[in-house]
Structure formats: structure tokens, C-alpha cells
Structure 1
Amino acid sequence: MTDTTAEALAGRVGERVRALRAARNLSLSALAEASGVGKGSLSELENGTRNPTLATLYSIAGPLGVPLAALLADAGAGADSDGVAVTLLEARREGAVVREVYALQLAPGAHRVSPPHGPGVVEHLLVTAGEARVGAADAERTLAVGHCHAWASDVEHTYAGGPAGASGVLTITTPESEPARTLGR
């Protein structure tokens, strides 16, 4: 059975980040510069003494060339920031793509701008409770319960919770590249 405590999850995420960085022959300084995450914070993350935020993980995943799921490591692992929380439900390689499925929670009034992901990355959100405004910057859609929206996320995109917040199922489809093979599925 996998230990899902915050400390254990932070340790496994740190191990993944360190292994991926080493596999790419990146120094701690080089990854810090490429990701915009401070070297000290990155060191604490790799050592499992800092709980990673969603924003930090996305900042690191880009320069490492991996989907978010490759850093989270385990189903049930999650991260949050700016009132947006995700929990990894499943990640798998299907042919030439990596498909990640997350439970998404948006706090009431939360607003997060996500940086562009790699070329060809597409996100789909199905709202299961509340109301959300999501999509590529300047082309967001407001979604009520039961509605869904798909958008290319290789551009800046947003997630915003309505007055009562929102819950949903978020799927991210990433065309597989050589670095993404670290998913291990």
C-alpha cells in the first residue's frame, strides 16, 4: 500500500524531480533558472522538506519536458495553489500521447493563470459541481454543472471558480516526447 501522507508524498515528488533533473544532466542552478523557482526552494523540494504547490510543479515540469503526472508520481497525489487544487486520479500512455486525469477543485472566486504547456497539449474540463470559467486566455468559457470545454493549453490559460466554487474532472492530453517517457505507465 502506498503511503499518502503529505510528508511521504513530498518525499516521492522530490525524488522524482531529482531523478528527472539528473537524467537531463541539469544542475540545480540550471533547473532553478529555467523554471523560475529559487534554488533554495528547489533544493528543499528535492529533499522532501517542502510541500510543492501546483504552480511550482508546473514551473518545473516545463523545463524537464514532462507532464505534471510524472512529478506527482502516484494516483491520489495532489497539489494546490491560488485556490486551485488537483488530485491525480490516473495517468497512462496511450499510443503517442500521455493522458492525465485529475479531480479539480476551485475555491469560490479563485483565479489562476496557468503558463503554456508543451506543443499540442489539450485540456478538457467537465464541471461536476458549481460554476467555473476556464480556457485559453481571452477565450474562456463559463461552465455550469454537466458542461464541458476543451482548449489548447500550449498558450496561457485560466481557471476561475464561481461564487460557490467548482469541482470537476480535468483531463490533460500531452503528445508524447522522449522526456515524457518517464511516466512509466
Structure 2
Amino acid sequence: MDEDSHSHDHSHSHDASLADVLSEVGPRLRRIRTQREVTLTALSEVTGISKSTLSRLESGQRRPSLELLLPIARAHQVPLDELIGAPEVGDPRVRIAPRRVHDMTVLPLTRQPGGLQAYKMVIPSRRNDPEPRTHEGYEWLYVLAGKLRLVLADHDLVLGPGEAAEFDTRLPHWFGSADDQPVEVLSLFGSQGERMHVRAKPRTRDAGGS
């Protein structure tokens, strides 16, 4: 009985940590906007998001989503992970620790089981030899710093800061450093059939021939 209640509490702490992260997004958005002395009207004009939606997002009535946060991050010129990253002060029982995956440093930003998973990845400069892989799922990449080389099926692309790509991971894919410098990337990954619903996609350019 005690064991069951302990596992139940443990899953609740995961749910609570995600709720805490999401609940911090609204106040953080309002704080960034007021620090920059930007009105809701001005932000609405720049992002194309209605004033009422922006207001509900800041007050916590509207759940944050990528299609809302991406234009706001661009408008404020703030890295996207600053808007959705776990707050520094949180539940001390739930530690989100970085881990190494295929020689990359990966920091999980979400804790919920299933659904979309968000990660910040630091890709080392030495990761520059393509080894395409396939697996079930759908991935969305956003470059925070550096130049990312993305090999996707027959495409060989270079993405710079602020550029994004989304793709079905059943296609052979690999990403690494394009210029032998470290790259910082925000990754959102979902199981097959879950899409990120990004309406505006920046252009990507060829990496000088594929």
C-alpha cells in the first residue's frame, strides 16, 4: 500500500514540475515585455498574435505553444529556451540533469512521460562526420547558436541561429557542426503523428552542394 502511494506521489511530482514550468512562462513573458517597455499592442503588431491571446498567455489562461512562443521570442530577440526552460528555483526533489547522447550534451526541458519532449542540445565541434539514422517520431530543431549541418535524406543543409527545421525521423537524418565550432540547438521531439504546427518556416540554404 505504502509503495503504491509512493509511486503515485512520484508521478504527481513529475506532473507538478511540468505545470510549474508552464506556469512560469506567462510571468516571464510579461516581465521581458515590461522590461523592454513594449506594449501589448506593439507586440501584437510585430508577432501577428492578437492582444487578447497575448494577454491570456501572460496571465496563464492560455497554455503556451510553439506557434505562440516562436514569434514572441523573435520579437524580443530572446533565445526560445529562455522562455520555456525550467525555472532555476524549483522542486529540489526533481533534478533535470544533462546527459550524453551520441557525444552530444542533452538537457531535458520537460519531464512529462509521452507527448512532446523538449531538449537543449550542445553539439561538439568534432561531430562532423554524417552517420544518418532512422527511427519512429517527428522532430523540430531550432538553432540557438553556431551553424548546424543537417543531412536529411537527399538534402544537405546549413542552418544558422534563428533558423528551424522539422522532419519525420523515419527519414535518414543526421545533424552536427557545419564549421568545426560547437552548436547549441533546441529540439522538440514527438512520437509519430505529433506535429509541431509551425506555420511560418524560415528559409534554409544549401551547404554548398550536396
Structure 1 length normalisation: TM-score?
Answer: 0.52
Q: Secondary structure at the match of 1:160?
A: strand
Render the CA deviation track for 1:117-152: whole Å, top value 9, x for unaligned: 89xx43547xxxxxxxxx5xxxxx316xxxx97522
**Quick one: which amino acid aligns to residue 68 of structure 1?**
L
Alignment of 1:142 onto 2:152: yes
Aligned to 1:122: 146
Q: Secondary structure at the match of 1:5?
A: helix
- Segments of structure 2 that go 5 or more residues without pairing to the other structure are 1-12, 87-95, 97-107, 123-134, 177-182, 187-210
What are the equivalent positions in structure 2 for 1:30-41 lying under 5 Å apart? 30-41=42-53
Aligned to 1:158: 165
Structure 2 length normalisation: TM-score?
Answer: 0.46
**Quick one: which amino acid aligns to residue 122 of structure 1?**
G
Alpha carbons 1:12, 1:73 under 8 Å: kept:
no
1:66: how far off?
0.6
Q: Which of residues 87, 91, 103 is equivalent to 2:118? A: 87
Alignment of 1:52 onto 2:64: yes
Mark the CA change 1:165 to 1:35 in structure 2 (over 3 Å): closer, same or farther: farther
Alignment of 1:65 onto 2:77: yes
Render the CA deviation track for 1:49-103: whole Å, top value 9, x for unaligned: 222112211110011111012111416545xxxxx94524479xxxxxxxxxxxx
Identity %: 22
Alpha carbons 2:147, 2:159 under 8 Å: kept:
yes
Aligned residues: 130
- Segments of structure 1 that go 5 or more residues without pairing to the other structure are 79-83, 92-104, 126-134, 136-140, 174-185
Alpha carbons 2:120, 2:184 under 8 Å: kept:
no
1:41: how far off?
1.4
1:166: how far off?
8.2
CA RMSD of aligned residues (A): 4.4
Distance 2:25 2:47 in 1: 16
Q: Which runs of 4+ in 1 moved over 3 A?
A: 75-78, 88-91, 105-108, 121-125, 162-170
More strand by share: 1
